[in-house]
């Protein structure tokens, strides 16, 4: 993550309750041979799972497949989920082969149940009521409030989470999807874990990350990743500019640390969300950025405005304005280079643009 989630980020109570229900079910199933109501918790969540035909069917299928497996499979699955509830610990020591002891039928039925809990059971009226009436739209609204995380994607800092429309009630506002940091296909026991689900922008979630495994590198080895509630990349990245006087200056995202673990986490973050390629594509035309953002009158004005734009950014601005982190890094890098040749080239470009505009307006 570029920015860690703020302290006190609201936990979605529906996910917390469904996660506890799944854990309870797996524990109750260890010593049960018959599928009945006693496998579920007493109260609204257990009642809702038992009363909803589709949800119940998914639970029963998992129960039957676990019963057909080896004698210790039920207990091993329960203990695996129970012993890995602390996701910060799991991020520190990821276990990619966590569920390899399950046979294909058990694994598939667990995936189907977990996906159903996330996609459908979370919206059942009794489930939402048991969670204080806070549905996922209300939770998203609270998550992205300025007092919490704001409306800029925490993973990349480049995109808004959602376009907010004036005059539209909360329940009808658009929202971003919730990304499973630990992907559902590989880690189904975390499908409704409340700290595994984080709203991300559509570019990060749908185009870049998809179902990538945070803990599997391109060469198939286990790797580590930033834990989004306590770790972030922002203090470990910079922009480097070279060949500023050339027709096409080079802009690169670089890592500003020598710590081996931090470097591995940065590489994971970059590979999962395609950070470098997205940033470097946006910042490839420095001249156009300066014209659009500064429109300098002369070299002195250029230097003064670059200094202004390179100043530290207020925390609230990071939450409100996409790309502001990366633009500040770009201008901070520009402060460190010789600008006279670049200013001359920029002045020529502006003069040519003005002459072209006057030519067009004169009907030439």
- Beta-carbon count within 10 A of 160 CB: 17
Indicate left, alpha or beta for 295 from its phi (over 0: left) and psi (-120 to 50: alpha).
left
> How confident is the model over 173-221, as pLDDT tens digits?
889 999 999 998 899 999 999 999 999 999 999 999 998 999 998 888 8
Of the ranges 24-28, 207-211, 260-264, 285-289, which one carries the lowest mean pLDDT score?
A: 285-289
**What's residue 347's pLDDT?**
65
Bigger pLDDT: 130 vs 245: 130
Q: Give the predicted TM-score (pTM) of the model.
A: 0.89
Tell me: pLDDT of 51 over 60. Answer: yes
Question: Contact at 8 Å (CB) between 2 and 238?
Answer: no
Report, as an integer, the average pLDDT of 141-153: 94
**What's residue 364's pLDDT?**
47
**Beta-bridge partner residues of 160:** 152
Report, as an integer, the average pLDDT of 320-346: 86
- Beta-carbon count within 10 A of 180 CB: 24
**What's residue 246's pLDDT?**
64
Domain residue ranges of the chain, discontinuous segments joined by +:
13-209, 234-350
CA–CA separation, 288 vs 211, rounded Å? 35
- Beta-carbon count within 10 A of 171 CB: 9
Instruction: Return the axis-axis angle of helices 104-119 and 53-68, rounded to nearest 10°.
Output: 160
Bigger pLDDT: 346 vs 250: 250
Contacts of 80 (CB under 8 A, 6+ apart): 98, 99, 189
Up-side HSE of residue 126: CA atoms within 13 Å toward CB? 11
Question: Contact at 8 Å (CB) between 59 and 48?
Answer: no
Tell me: pLDDT of 83 over 50. Answer: yes
- Beta-carbon count within 10 A of 120 CB: 13
Tell me: pLDDT of 352 over 80. Answer: no
**Beta-bridge partner residues of 255:** 237
Percent of the chain at pLDDT > 90 equals 76
Question: Contact at 8 Å (CB) between 58 and 35?
Answer: no
Report, as an integer, the average pLDDT of 99-106: 95
**What's residue 357's pLDDT?**
40
pLDDT band at 349 (very low <50, low <70, confident <90, very high): low
CA–CA separation, 235 vs 3, rounded Å? 9
């Amino acid at each position: 993550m570029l920015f860690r989630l703020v302290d006190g980020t609201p936990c979605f109570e529906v996910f917390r309750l469904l996660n506890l229900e799944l854990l309870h079910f797996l524990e109750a199933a260890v010593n049960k041979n018959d599928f009945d109501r006693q496998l579920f918790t007493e109260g609204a969540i257990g009642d809702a799972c038992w009363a909803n035909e589709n949800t119940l069917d998914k639970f029963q299928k998992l129960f039957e497949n676990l019963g057909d497996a080896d004698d210790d499979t039920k207990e091993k699955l329960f203990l695996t989920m129970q012993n890995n509830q602390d996701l910060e610990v799991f991020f520190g020591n990821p276990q990619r082969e966590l569920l390899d002891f399950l046979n294909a039928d058990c694994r598939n039925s667990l995936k189907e149940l977990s996906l159903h809990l996330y996609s459908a059971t979370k919206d059942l009226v009794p489930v939402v009521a048991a969670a204080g009436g806070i549905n996922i739209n209300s939770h998203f609204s609270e998550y992205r409030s300025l007092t919490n995380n704001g409306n800029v994607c925490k993973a990349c800092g480049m995109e808004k989470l959602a376009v907010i429309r004036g005059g539209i009630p909360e329940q009808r506002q658009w929202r971003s999807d919730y990304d499973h940091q630990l992907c559902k296909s590989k880690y189904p026991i975390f499908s409704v874990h409340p700290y595994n689900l984080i709203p991300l922008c559509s570019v990060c979630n749908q185009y870049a990350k998809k179902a990538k495994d945070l803990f599997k590198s391109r060469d198939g080895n286990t790797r580590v990743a930033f834990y989004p509630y306590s770790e972030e990349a922002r203090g470990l990245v910079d922009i480097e500019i070279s060949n500023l006087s050339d027709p096409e200056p080079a802009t690169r995202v670089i890592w500003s640390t020598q710590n081996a673990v931090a470097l591995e986490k940065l590489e994971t973050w970059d590979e999962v969300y395609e950070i470098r390629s997205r940033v470097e594509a946006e910042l490839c035309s420095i001249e156009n950025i300066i014209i659009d953002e500064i429109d300098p009158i002369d070299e002195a004005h250029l230097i003064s405005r670059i200094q202004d734009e390179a100043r530290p950014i207020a925390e609230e601005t990071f939450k409100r304005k996409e790309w502001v982190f990366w633009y500040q890094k770009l201008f901070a890098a520009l402060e460190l280079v010789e600008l006279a040749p670049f200013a001359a080239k920029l002045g020529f470009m502006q003069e040519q643009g003005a002459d072209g505009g006057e030519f067009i307006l004169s009907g030439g």
